[in-house]
Amino acid sequence: MKTLLITGASSGVAQGIARELAAQGWQVARVCRDISRLDGDSSDSLAADVSTEAGAQQAIEFARARFGGLPGAVANCAGSSLIAPIGRTSEAQYRAVMAANLDTAFFVSRAYATALASAKQGGSLLLFSSVVAATGVANHAAIAAAKGGIESLTRSLAADFSGIGLRVNCIAPGLMRTPMTTRMLANDASVKQVSAQYPLGRHGEVADAAALAAFLLSDAAGWITGQVIGLDGGFSAVRPYVKAV
C-alpha cells in the first residue's frame, strides 16, 4: 500500500492531492491546525502546528502509527500568502508568512528526512514554492523571500539525502483557483485580468497541482530529485511577443 502524509491538509491544493491519490489507491493521513476544515471522515486526521519542531514531529509519528511504518511520501502543503509592499508589511505579518511557509517546510522536512535516515529507507518529499520566488512580481517581498528559501531547501535536502533514496522536489505554482484566491477571482473581469498574465491564457486549477503532485510523489518520477518545477502556464519561462502600438 502506498502511503502519503499531507501537512497543511485543509488547503485547497492539499485536498485536491488527497482526493487524487486516494482515488489511485493510496492511503492518506492528513495534518492541519484545524481538522474541522477538512472534508470527509476525520479519523485519518490530526490537529498539529507543523511550523514548530514539535508539531512536525507529531505529524510524522501520527503517520507512522496510522500506516504501521513511515509514510512512503510526504507533501507539505502548509502555507499562506501576502500581497503587500515591503514598506507596508509589518513585522508580525512577515514572521507569520515565514512561519506558515518556510518554517513548515523546514520542520516537516527535518522530521521526515531524519526519520527515514534512522530507518535507512527512502521516500518522496514534495514542497511548494511559488512563481514569485523566481520571477519578480510587485508587492510580494515577504512571500517571495519565504518561497525562495523553500526552493533552496529543496536542492539542499536532495543532496543531503539522495544516498538513502529520498527524493525531494518542489512545485512552484502560479495563481490557482482555491479558497485562498476567491477574492482575486471574484468576477469575470478579475478572471480575465488574471488569466491575461499567463501565456496559456488561464489561471491554474487545483486539478493541475494534484496531477503534477501525484506524478512527482509516485514511482514514475523515480529518477527526479532536487527539482523546482514551474506550474504557471508559462509565466516564468515564456515572454509573449507584444506588438508596439
Phi and psi (nearest 5°) for 41? -65, 130
The answer to the question of residue 145 being in a domain is: yes
Q: How confident is the model at residue 164 (pLDDT cuts 50, 70, 90)?
A: very high
At 118, which CATH number?
A: 3.40.50.720
Q: Which residues pair with 7 in a beta bridge?
A: 31, 76
Within-domain flag for 121: yes
Whether residue 225 is predicted with pLDDT greater than 70 in this model: the reply is: yes
CA distance 45 to 38: 8
Contacts of 191 (CB under 8 A, 6+ apart): 185, 203
Does residue 237 sit within a domain? no
Q: In this structure, are residues 181 and 209 in contact, taking their beta carbons and an 8 Å threshold?
A: no
High-pLDDT (> 90) share of the chain, %:
79
- Regarding predicted confidence, which is higher, 51 or 40? 51
The confidence band for 184, taking pLDDT boundaries of 50, 70 and 90, is low
Mean pLDDT of the chain: 93
What pLDDT does residue 43 have?
Answer: 83
Q: Is 48 helix (H, G, I), strand (E, B) or coil?
A: coil
Give ∠ CA 55-230-239 in degrees, rounded to 5. 145
Would you say residue 154 has pLDDT above 80?
Answer: yes
Global pTM value: 0.94
pLDDT at residue 201, as a whole number: 84
Q: Is residue 129 part of a domain?
A: yes
Higher pLDDT: 194 or 7? It is 7
**Would 132 be classed as within a structural domain?**
yes
Ranking 11-15, 78-82, 147-151, 236-240 by mean pLDDT, the lowest is 236-240
CA–CA separation, 191 and 204 (whole Å)? 11
In angstroms, rounded to a whole number, what is the distance separating the alpha carbons of residues 47 and 45?
7
State mean pLDDT over 10-16: 94
Q: Domain tally for the chain?
A: 1
CA distances, 197 to each of 2, 40, 130, 135 (Å):
38, 35, 15, 13
Length of the chain in terms of residues written: 245
Say whether pLDDT at 18 is over 90: yes
DSSP type of residue 10: T
Structural domain boundaries enclosing 96: 3-231
* H or E stretch at 217: helix 206-217
241 found inside a domain:
no
Are the CB atoms for 107 and 155 separated by under 8 Å? no
Under DSSP, the state recorded for 143 is: H
Mean pLDDT over residues 131-137, rounded?
Answer: 94
pLDDT exceeds cutoff 90 at 182: no
Alpha carbon distance 96, 138 (integer Å)? 20
Q: Do the domain assignments include residue 243? A: no
